[in-house]
A = this chain, B = another copy of it.
């Protein structure tokens, strides 16, 4: 087993004794190359077994057909990533996805690495507040679209869910079923959606005139933290009778922690998840429209690729309440 190194255009140029530009012109079927040079290059291409690769396409200014997607994680289900992929494919584009693990340093590293590979564009689920490290790439013409959260310090096309409307809908739904003491357990506030949803919840509580003490629990999505938040909300003389969870992972941890006691609590989850309908009771959720988010992100990217001068847009996608049972229980008699 011997390792044959893939021949490059430079090898072809040296073998043919011509300039690299000439090889590039021949590979791109430029008719202005003289026959003698063209034949020498073709002979070298044949002799070396050279095939033009993606780099060659870049050197001649072509598009790669590849779109980078930097998302929070690759392991859990990610319906927006699926929608990005489906829409991209419908337009002849391939999505290369990579995980930021919700770490700012990691995001910068993987996104700049993708920029260095001259993909046709990048779809980003931003972490942190500052994305100015992308200014130079944007100036250089790299199309970038943010989704789920806005990018900070740069002006790029963005698709987000209507987080405030979603929390408002969940809150009014629970109030409509008689709940006065509603708790919120969600993501960390350093994450945009975590902040948006917690802030919207505080605004709902303030408007209702109910004190929020012990009811608002943003933080890391970790079993122990969520268990402690639940215990705090359900404790004391005036405990919560209902809970709004800020994301699907939190919903599942709440159900795990409560076990059969989940039957005593009304629950509305932000984000739908695969088996919400199979649980008993089935889980009422505020569902994000992942298909529309993914499709819109790719459409914005395609339009940006086609015309980098068009006005930058932020599209807010509606959310939808899906009533399944867990959010329609009256306050528990013990409360």
Contact = CB atoms under 8 A, between A and B. Distances in A.
A280 B114 CA distance: 44
A222 interface: no
A99 to B, nearest CB: 5
A4 B308 contact: no
A36 interface: no
A314 interface: no
Contacts of A308: 1, 3
B97 A98 contact: yes
A75 B85 contact: yes
Sorting the interface of chain A by its residue count into under 10, 10 to 19, 20 to 34 or 35 or more gives: 35 or more
Contact of A74 (B54, B85, B309): B85
B77 A82 contact: no
Interface string A274-293: 11011110000000000000
Given A74-B81, A74-B82, A279-B275, A97 B94 contact: no
Contacts of A114: 96
Nearest to A114: B96
A325 interface: no
A32 to B, nearest CB: 18
A277 to B, nearest CB: 7
Given A75-B79, A89-B101, A256-B277, A59 B10 contact: yes
A65 interface: yes
A59 B56 CA distance: 12
Given A10-B59, A75-B82, A274-B275, 12 more contacts: A8-B59, A54-B116, A66-B113, A68-B96, A74-B81, A75-B78, A77-B77, A77-B274, A94-B113, A252-B274, A255-B278, A275-B275
Interface of A: 1, 3-6, 8, 10, 20-21, 53-55, 58-59, 64-66, 68, 73-79, 81-86, 89, 94-99, 101, 106, 109-110, 113-118, 139-141, 252, 255-256, 273-275, 277-280, 308-309
7 contacts: A4-B140, A64-B117, A65-B113, A74-B78, A75-B83, A252-B275, A275-B275
